[in-house]
Structure 1
Amino acid sequence: MKKQLLEVRVNGRTHELAIEPNRLLLDALRVDLQLTGSKRGCDDSSCGACTVLVDGTLMLSCTMLAASCEGQEITTVEGITEHGALAAIQKAYRDWCGAQCGFCTPGFMMTVTHLLATNPTPSESEIREALSSNLCRCTGYSQMYGAIKAAIEAEQKGMAIVSWKNIFDPDSGSLFDIHVLGTTAHDWQSFLNYLSTNYEVAYSEDGVPRTVPPIETIFEARRNATPLLQIRMHGYTIDCHFFASDAI
């Protein structure tokens, strides 16, 4: 069968593939792009292990043609976190032992990611309804529900570290300012430690350079100044502003 050129955007990156018209999206992801997080569990859209997001909509990649996704944004489980910063649901799965054999986990994580994006405070019945499209053959649902509830609580308390894909697009080189409205000091200190270890970080208050202090000192400085972290990564500079809550 004659191959055709297909341009797809997956996890924020654009790829050009030469594939057969009948190639399934799951095969394009796993074989052509080596994104093996999405799993083949049934081949008939009944288990949810292959779940991905296509333009923000949950889709089952085992029965979807790759060619039908041209021009659309595809997100796989590899794309919900970047550069070592775990998403809230990933942290919760780890802490609550939400995975047993782990084969179904990527599909569940994509379903939960979509659920929390569209309904940040789902009820118990809404959680169960959302997860009804995914099967766990190990029957480890109790731990999953515990993990999901923990992730929801973490999101509500602002404990999830800023998602890297929202501040740096490696494909286009686009950068965005981070405006910190409020989160816990513990998680921001972890975030700051990660930045300081892996990148060049500079700090200033009202334009005056200073040594990078603990995050609680930065929070305290917001009362009388506008602290600014400047992060050098991949040849670019990202500005991270900290404003007092009444200045927003």
Structure 2
Amino acid sequence: MPASPNPLKKNLAAGDMQIGLWLNLGDPSATEIAAAAGFDWCLIDGEHAPYDPVTIQNQLRAMMAYDSPPIVRVPIGEDWVIKQALDLGAQSLLVPMVDTADHARQMVAATRYAPEGRRGMGAMVARASGWGRVADYNDNINDEICLIVQAETRLAMQNLDEIAAVEGVDCVFIGPADLSADMGHRGNPGHPDVKAAIADGVAKIRTAGKAAGILHYDSTNFAYYRDLGVTFLGVGSEASLLRAAVHQTLLSARKAVSD
């Protein structure tokens, strides 16, 4: 039995719009609710949220019963972190702060077994291979890894043509929050200079034949990013949705009893 096909990788290559949600709470029940909603992907945020290898593995388990492919954002783009996330069972990764094509190539190599890369051979005693039950995992998994690299600095944007051209990179995700801070507009990703840089970046990514991604919390801008050519669209997080819902519920209740 080969490694499971990766629908996210296939859909991104086909140019299909993929709408997803960030998972920041670290709670399997919240993750199940998000996955059951039918998002095209859900991202376990190992960079900014309270995750460790055990909780990431449990989040992956929580999503197994649903058709929403999981992505793991690793905390840093280093080989040992990549290897660990893949052995836990992730097939799609988001790697933050990739500023150069050389770093992107290193991340591709970290996700592939030799001779295509340098991923360590340990998955046959880990969850990724069904604890050794997927006999052909090692032979097939290289073709099913979806690698998304994150461009979120001025340096990355300067090197975007070369980063997007790296073979094995499936998608380049532009991080508007860090990019705006690096450009001197911290907390204002909607600044005209930042928006112009993002638009130029998306065009470069698409010219290279790769999927372009972004995270945005304002639904009034979703069509704008679609028209730019974004096909990997994060539309919020379970934490932001919960915050908004509980706040609105309280306001509605207070209004109802005060009328």
TM-score higher than 0.5 here?
A: no
TM-score by length of 2: 0.30
Instruction: Report which of the two has the higher share of strand.
Output: 1
TM-score (norm 1): 0.31
Q: Which has the higher contact order (CA 8 A, sep 6+)?
A: 2
Bigger proportion of residues as helix = 2
